[in-house]
Amino acid sequence: MFIGRAQLSGRQFGVPCAYFAYSYSPFEPIENCTYAFVHGGCWHFTYRIDEAMVTWPYYRALDAFEARSDRFVPYWAERPPARAVPHELVKVSVYTKTGAALVMVANFDEDAPAVSGPVVLDMDRLGLVAPTARDAFSKAAAPLVDGTTLAVSIKSFRQAWFVLEEAGRPAAGKEDPP
């Protein structure tokens, strides 16, 4: 799939994907990250230090969660991780592990400056019961209404990441028991 001067390949064929794009032609580094991570891949940036400054929080969150490709649930799955989103161009993909999920919510609506509203998650699909939520970057608590719904406000071509964890289960970032 080609997007301007970008290429997203692999995931649609059942293998980990890679996203290749030049910075600022046509997308900024943060926009490249929005395309890449919600599709289960990573953005291969160039030598510019500003690109590394944009990507490090994402890689840090993935590493802390110990995200693995075989535990990726994409928004286009037969049974997607979200039951409802505030706009058709808001996409939700997740990485799962025992007792936890890393939820990535991306906004691809370029006609509005931001999209706000509820993201209703399928907790059965995520394998979670009564989790708590926190922002994956700031670690601040995030309200999880009725135990299934995250309220989001995301700028155009940006994303929000959340870590959901069940009480009494191993914390995200710890290896699953054998």
The tens-digit pLDDT sequence of the chain (178 residues) is 434 444 455 555 454 566 666 666 677 777 877 878 888 877 666 666 777 777 788 889 999 999 988 899 999 999 999 999 999 999 999 999 999 999 999 999 999 999 999 999 999 999 999 999 999 999 999 999 999 999 999 999 999 999 999 986 655 544 443 3
As to burial, measured by CB atoms within 10 angstroms (0-12 exposed, 13-18 middle, 19+ buried), residue 113 is exposed
CATH class of 69-166: mainly beta
Contact 45, 51 (CB under 8 A): yes
Residue spans of the domains in the chain: they are 2-65, 69-166
| Confidence (pTM) | 0.82
pLDDT at residue 45 in the model: 61
pLDDT at residue 70 in the model: 85
pLDDT at residue 177 in the model: 37
Q: What is the b/e burial string over 19-57, where b = at least 16 CB atoms within 10 angstroms of the residue's CB? A: bebebeeebebbbbbbbbbbbbbbbebeeeeebeebbee
Counts for the chain of helices (H) and strands (E), in that order: 3, 14
Q: Which residues contact 128 (CB under 8 A, 6 or more apart)?
A: 99, 100, 101, 164, 166
pLDDT at residue 118 in the model: 98
